[in-house]
Amino acid sequence: MPDILLIEDNKYNVEFILEALEKNGIVNRVKVFHDGEKALDYLFAAGEYAGRDSFESGSYYSLWIEDSPQFTAESFNYPG
């Protein structure tokens, strides 16, 4: 079952989304990132996630609520 990567810096939005997923029976593991760069590091096994097997969980659903000034949605066009 794919993990869900939730990229959102507002803690209230995170709480709302997690509650909505639970109420709708979504049981996927959710990894929350408050910073888009850290999410990309996680996906590419870079930075503090260097050495992590980037394919350990198989596939991901990305849930990105708001635009980040750090990068654009095209940043998620990663190989794999």
Residue pLDDT, tens place only, 20-69: 999 999 999 899 998 888 888 888 888 998 888 766 655 666 665 555 55
41 Ramachandran zone, left/alpha/beta (phi>0; psi -120 to 50) = alpha
| Mean pLDDT over each residue of the chain, to the nearest integer | 77
Query: How far, in Å, CA of 66 to CA of 72, rounded?
Result: 10
Q: What angle do CA 70, 7, 44 make, to 5 degrees?
A: 70
Give the predicted TM-score (pTM) of the model: 0.69
pLDDT value at residue 80:
43
